[in-house]
Structure 1
Amino acid sequence: MSQKLVILAGLPGSGKSTLAEGLSRHFSLPLFSIDPIEAAMWRGGLPRDQTGIAAYAIAQALAEEHLRLGHSVVIDAVNPVEAPRAAWRNLAAKYRASLPIIECVCMDEATHRRRIEARMRAIEGMTEITWAEVEKRRTGYEAWTDARLTLDTSAHPPERLLAEAIVYLT
């Protein structure tokens, strides 16, 4: 596999972490996920209102170190607006890595809500997001303009979605 900066994006509960973990295992790639990074920052004493953008900066620094070494990387992040998206594009360009983007969506609102309300990820220091918070995040989630694979995670089982993502990356 040529060097890649694989981006998994989508609203909380859209299935991106499940898919990112599957891709990380399948290809034996490091995975950097924003939520555990941010939770570690909170456990370290940083105020919750100061860690959002910083967690992306840490993930970018970790990804850059791996790209510099010639490795591919998987990133698991909402990526709701242009700023982090541009940072990933710039990082991929700097290391001449391809930038496959996989956007996870959950088109069935009832399924999405059930996932959020049942979610128990056990990330130390992080409480689970509420459905009301997801709906608020949805209003600020900008449409992607980059070429990408969009997967409706409410339409197919995780194994099929992973298979589609693997084909997309190879």
Structure 2
Amino acid sequence: MTTDEAVAEIAGVMKKAGLVWLSWNGGRPAPAWFATVDGAYVVLADRAGSAEQPLPGLAEAGTAEVVVPAKPATNRLAGWKASVRRLDPASEEWTAAALVLRTERLNADGLDTQLDRWRVEADLLILEPTGEITETVGRYDGQSRLETPTGSTATTRGKRPITFHRRSNRRPKLT
């Protein structure tokens, strides 16, 4: 498969997705929403620990593995390699990408200051296909995707309380 054919196949798959899973530098995959701008895939990556999409280190990674999930979200539709390029906040390309990405941002807070906040607190990154498709429908590797959950400070309440005088499981007779 040539690079042009691979890019065309990736474009067809990406039309079906609103979210992708990105992994870089051997780290855990992270979900990321994106927008397609003039055939390029733009991702917003938080830089300053704000409320935007946390993708630490992606801007410096250089390359990333992109996994496109199928709509039932239990299957993979495709996987491909991308080179990562950071857009300059002063460029017209950044402004055009930010305006398109802004429409894709769900439940955004502070729409009037959003673009100014992105210039300071986030990076707009372009994911450019390298032409290498790692997975497609019917061609998956045999690698296990099971991973242990990440550590968290969240806890449970403990055991469920005992309930006295439960409802009977038996249905009443209909007359």
Q: Normalization by structure 1: what TM-score?
A: 0.28
Higher percent of residues as helix: 1
Which protein is bigger by CA-based radius of gyration? 2
Relative contact order, CA 8 A, sep 6+: which one is greater?
1
Higher strand share: 2
